[in-house]
Amino acid sequence: MPDFRVPVEDYKFLFRHVFKMDENYSKLNCDNDFSLDLLDTILDEAAKFSENELAPLYQSGDEEGCVLEDGVVTTPKGFKEAYSKFIEGGWTSLTGDVELGGQGLPSSVSLVVNEMLTTANWAWAMYPGLSEGAVATLESHGTDAQKNDYLPRLIDGRWSGTMCLTEPHCGTDLGQMKTNAKPNGDGSFSVNGTKIFISAGEHDLTENIVHIVLAKLPDAPKGTKGLSLFIIPKYLPGESGEVGKRNGVYCGSIEKKMGIHGNGTALLNFDNAKGFLIGQPHDGLSAMFTYMNVARIGTASQGVAAAERSYQGASTYALERLAMRSLSGVKNPDGPADKIVEHPDVRRMLLTQRAIAEGGRAMIMHASEYADTYRNGISTNERDQAEQKLGFFTPILKGFITELGVEAANLGIQVFGGHGYIKEWGMEQIFRDSKIATLYEGTTGIQALDLIGRKVLLDKFKQLKLFSNEIAKSSFKNLLATSVRINIKGIKASAKLLKLALKWRYIALRIALRAKTDRDEVGSASVDFLMYSGYVYMGYMFMKMSQVANNFSGDTNIDFYKNKVLTANFFFDKILPRADMHASSILSGSQSVMAMPNEYFSQ
């Protein structure tokens, strides 16, 4: 696999010029001494760590995998040493509360660093990544005592965190959960049950693992309204904060998975494990959503990571591999064949990968502005508005970008041809790793139902109207501006995006009207609606990036800005038209999906 290089210039372009994040940072209730110059230093150093410490372990970690012996999971060679360097560098504390040992930086900074880590070594990055959700959950819902007991050690990286939801008999349908918690009479609870698919559930990187666990109290109502949330550490905290007595949580096995072999995805047995209630009884799911929403945005960045890593491998190969002659004439007369990058279909695949990586990265950066305000906004009204916007964006980001990440990883294999199917090159590993992102934290279908059901229909189209109006107004303004400059591609792109933004609300209304007589219309249209939403959102990002790049004047790398415009042109010509296909599918209704009896599928 070619050497991985972090696209630092792209991050700086987005932070500085497209979203002007310093303006948003100045309005936040956090470290207002934070500057873009400091951000540049963070990005540069994170890039060095990702390239030099993590990327070399990517393939070897996959081949070696994790090993469970006598209840102890050993991570692949080099993982523990890399983690020690990671916490020594203070990377786990970037966004933590200053009073608890953190650096108090905005969430957007951590999201970008996490994308670098994930692109360099997906399985490794999940270990510290899971801890961030645990920190966010305790910050929002923990008692002062719980915060003091756990947050300093989670923030400095000595301890790590997990999220424990899924059980053998139920995945997303948490109402079927059987794990139970009984009061001990001293404020603690005795928890019994089994959880599966727990990423980073057991490992040797930290001295303690703090599990955030959903379970049912004895008087719990039926369904999801009866779930409570608990802290269950592997080792109970000692009186002075050190690791104390071993708790009753044990690793029964590690999953034999399609990918991310370097991560200890565990089956955990809770055997009279001592747990501590987070928040109110029976209100665990709402508290857990704090964790899940953090995780879902992080998962969206995994889609970007898959596209970026696969693109870098495929583009390097395409510039070296010789095969056949170009249809438009010989390009390498001194060689036996031309480079495969000369062939239009190879270029199509490479450009699709690049557009997915750059467009997805911009989407996450855009949403991270609202994540920053939600977490550190000065007024309650600002935080509430940001939470609502972020709630609308989250299922689009998670569902759409991860699906495109898999597509990009698949194209990476295709560029290599038969060599892409061979482990030596590492392209098939990216594909195997990428698939999990469409599954955990809620499958694409679950994200789609959340978007159309809760975030559009139950919201009475409020956030959809606000965002589609923003895109439509921006497109119309850009349409007028580009027409003066006689930029034909800019005119077409803005006109297309304007049309799609207005159509977005129309197709949502059609779904709502049809659902009054047939509820299956919602489920039938949901994934198409999510993908349509994603393409419009990504189109908006490419329009913003193209605007900035077209108007940029300076003595920096002009090729970077030219390439940004060329990638945007490709997106509008070759990828954005997919939105029309999804719209046609939505408007065709649910009849062909639901007409067959169940027996049809047994034949």
Q: Which of the four pLDDT bands, split at 50, 70 and 90, describes residue 553?
A: low
Which CA distances in Å does 453 have to 188, 375, 385, 387, 399?
37, 25, 19, 17, 15
Which whole number is the average pLDDT over 577-602?
96
527: pLDDT strictly greater than 60: yes
Q: What are phi and psi of 599, to 5 degrees?
A: -65, -25
The CA distance from 483 to 359, in Å, is 24
Q: CB neighbours of 222 closer than 8 A, spacing ≥ 6? A: 175
Helices (DSSP H) in 68-207: which residue ranges?
A: 79-88, 107-120, 122-141, 144-155
Name the one residue in this structure whose structure tokens are 């928890």: 191
| DSSP 8-state code for residue 121 | -
**Distance separating alpha carbons of residues 137 and 290, to the nearest angstrom:** 6
Residue 65 tokens, joined: 């995998």
With both helix axes pointing from N to C terminus, report the angle between 284-318 and 380-396 in degrees, rounded to the nearest 10: 50
Is pLDDT above 90 for 57? yes
> How many other C-beta atoms can be found within 10 angstroms of the C-beta atom of residue 173?
11
DSSP for 217-241, written as a single string:
-TTPPSGGGGEEEEEEESEEE-TTS
Query: In percent, how much of the chain has pLDDT > 70?
Result: 98
Average pLDDT, the chain: 94
Q: Are 347 and 341 in contact (CB under 8 A)?
A: yes
Give the closest residue to 62 by CA, choosing from 77, 49, 47, 72.
77
Residue 377: which pLDDT band, with cuts at 50, 70 and 90?
very high
Inform me whether the pLDDT recorded for 543 exceeds 70.
Answer: yes
Residues noted as catalytic: 441
What pLDDT was estimated at residue 555?
Answer: 60
pLDDT score of 599 more than 70: yes
The yes-or-no verdict on residue 484 having pLDDT over 60 is no
Integer Cα distance of 584 and 588 in angstroms? 6
Residue whose C-alpha is closest to residue 62's, from 78, 51, 79, 76: 76
Q: How many residues does the chain have?
A: 603
Take residue 41 and report the two structure tokens written for it.
């230093």
Q: 390-427 pLDDT, tens per residue?
A: 999 999 999 999 999 999 999 999 999 999 999 999 99
pLDDT band at 32 (very low <50, low <70, confident <90, very high): low
Please name the residue that has the structure tokens 């964790």: 291
The pLDDT of residue 3 is 87
Give the three-class secondary structure for 485: coil
* Residue 355 near residue 310, CB atoms below 8 Å: no
Query: Residue 160: what are its φ and ψ, rounded to 5°?
Result: -125, 170
The residue type of 519 is R
User: Percentage of the chain surpassing pLDDT 90?
Assistant: 86
The H-or-E segment that residue 164 falls in is strand 159-164
Q: For residues 146 and 139, what is the distance between their CA atoms, to the nearest angstrom?
A: 9
Virtual CA dihedral for 476, 478, 481, 485, nearest 10 degrees? -120
Instruction: Report how far residue 318's alpha carbon sits from residue 339's, in angstroms, rounded to the nearest whole number.
Output: 7
For residue 407, how many C-alpha atoms fall within 13 Å in the half-sphere facing its CB? 18
